[in-house]
A and B are shown apart, each in its own frame.
Chain A
Amino acid sequence: MNKTVNQKAWFLVLPVLVLVAFSAVIPLMTVVNYSVQDTFGNNVFFPAGLEWFRDTLQSDRMWASLGRQIMFSAIILAIEVPLGIFVALNMPKKGAWVSVCLVLMSLPLLIPWNVVGTIWQIFGRVDIGLFGYLMAQLGIDYNYTQDALDAWFTLVIMDVWHWTSLVALLAYAGLQSIPDAYYQAAKIDQASRWKVFRYIELPKMQGVLLIAILLRFMDSFMIYTEPFVVTGGGPGSATNFLSIDLVKVALGQMDLGPAAAYSIMYFLVVLLISWVFYTVMTNIDKRGGA
């Protein structure tokens, strides 16, 4: 759509600006403020320069958490995106079943995150959970509170359970926008199922898939509540992701300076990766729209 230049449009954006400034800029400035100061308590602060940033950058613990976090997000994306597309391709195209599938699939998305954690905490337990029980029946030694690999497995399958539907619904929305004529043309050309997918469906889904990847990346990178409920970062520190580690530093040890420096770097990493995604996304939007 051709937009007109209108500087007065700023007035329409003003309420959002004020609200977001209040709920984002002020807290963020507080964080920045803490990150360059030190305190011995009693609210007496003195400047500490970039010491906290240097400390955090040299802390093995932070790098280990970052590594775990990147691995977790990578595994999540590698499973959920293909699986979501696969499910979307198999969803009914029209009829009463569409609504049923949509409603049933969205259900996990609307469960409070700590309840999601609780559900899987119960479900995976060897003594009272169905999943743990079945694993025991199959003779597999499975215990997510003791074994690091089992804890990872539980968290990954929980996230797949929780969020694959989001990817599937987005991909489905993309598929629905493909006109029938495309498929008919493919049929006349006797294109194989794979070619239809590769040259018709995938390009048409590109835009929504990027949204899906962006959303899934951001949310998996910020994941806190679910692993906190299920494993609490354990066993040991095997599932200590960035958010969990940050909260441990900030609220557990009340180390405001290091926690603030940590927060800022965390935010910057998310911002950087998301910015790359966003730039790619808008470029594709432009090419598709023109």
Chain B
Amino acid sequence: MSATTTDAAATRARARTGRRFNTSALVMVLYLVFLFLPIYWLINMSLKPNSEILGGVTFWPRNFTFDNYVTILTDPSWYMGYVNSIIYVSLNTLISITVALPAAYAFSRYHFMGDKHLFFWLLTNRMAPPAVFALPFFQLYSSIGLFDTHIAVALAHCLFNVPLAVWILEGFMRGVPKEIDETAYIDGYSFGRFFTRIFMPLIASGIGVTAFFCFMFSWVELLLSRTLTATEAKPIAATMTRTIGASGIDWGVLAAAGVLTIVPGALVIWFVRNYIAKGFALGRV
């Protein structure tokens, strides 16, 4: 008796929540499920031994194991891939923002000869297919002795990250009224002091978003970083091809390595979550 009443109450409660869940929520849930099914499958696979992966489809690991992760985190040739990637991505972010800040300021505040053409020319570099640049880059960096160094990859990624950084920062700087600059100059600030003490704190969120984008595009790129490295600065994404050995593909380790490449991105997103939407609009909203 009491069981049936609680059942009925539960059904009523479900029906109520069911009604409260409008179609928007349903659409979002469906979309997020679509996004997460492949990721779920990757995580699922990374927690299985190879025998189970190849033995048939199981929706949950039966022989739960962390062996695949242990393999990666104890073998230097594996985990150095992550270290290399993080070094060149950080270097690239730093370089891109340092050079882009003054340029974006110039574009947002002044007219000068050829400014519009220059701006579009910068953007064209964002449009250059990396496949076009792979071979010349290899020759250029080999000839100046930078092949297989972190700085080479960081500089190569500037090709698309610097234009992007200028573009986003310019959008954010446009939103800062010019009167602030003028007041500061009247108060006797030099350009350098004004820029670092007053202006940069004002567009701190813009700088954060720009750093996020530089990180993102440098982190996900493979073609150039693979072409420019051999062993010393090899990125994790290129290291993953190691799993294809003589005895076939080591699926479990491949999946675990894939899962570990998602983690840094997820951490970075969490830090900039409140600015993402504006950042994706390149500060132009």
Binding site for B on A (CB under 8 A): 1-10, 12-13, 15-17, 19-20, 22-24, 26-28, 30-31, 86-87, 89-92, 99, 101-115, 118-120, 122-123, 127-131, 133, 161, 165-166, 169-170, 172-174, 176-177, 207-208, 211, 218, 221-222, 224-225, 242-243, 246-247, 250-251, 256, 259, 263-264, 266-267, 270-271, 274-275, 278, 285
Shortest CB distance A174–B (Å): 6
Beyond A128-B53, A161-B34, whether A267 also contacts B129 by CB under 8 A is yes
Count chain B CB atoms within 10 A of each CB in A27, A173, A271 and give the residue with the most. Answer: A27
B:111-148 near A, CB below 8 Å: 111-113, 115, 118, 120, 122-137, 139-140
**Would A16 and B105 count as touching, CB distance under 8 A?**
no
B residues in contact (CB < 8 Å) with A: 23-25, 27-28, 31-32, 34-39, 41-42, 45, 53-54, 57, 95, 98-100, 102-103, 105-113, 115, 118, 120, 122-137, 139-140, 155-156, 158-159, 162-163, 166, 174, 178, 216, 219-223, 236-237, 240, 251, 254-255, 258, 261-262, 264-266, 268-270, 273-274, 276-278, 280-282, 284-285
20 A–B contact pairs at CB < 8 A?
A5-B110, A7-B113, A15-B98, A15-B103, A16-B99, A26-B140, A90-B31, A92-B25, A103-B276, A106-B276, A110-B264, A119-B41, A122-B254, A128-B251, A131-B38, A161-B35, A242-B131, A250-B131, A251-B135, A270-B128
List the A residue with the shortest CB-CB distance to B124. Answer: A271
Given that A4-B110, A27-B133, A114-B237 are contacting pairs, would A225 and B126 also be in contact in the complex, using a CB cutoff of 8 Å?
no
With a CB–CB cut-off of 8 A, which chain B residues contact A106?
269, 276
| Interfacial chain A residues near B255, Cβ < 8 Å | 122
How distant is the Cα of A149 from the Cα of B95 in the complex, in angstroms? 44
> Do A27 and B137 have beta carbons less than 8 Å apart?
yes
How many inter-chain residue pairs (CB < 8 Å) link A and B?
Answer: 281
B285 touches A122 (CB 8 A): no
Q: DSSP class of A's interface residues: helix, strand, loop or mixed?
A: helix
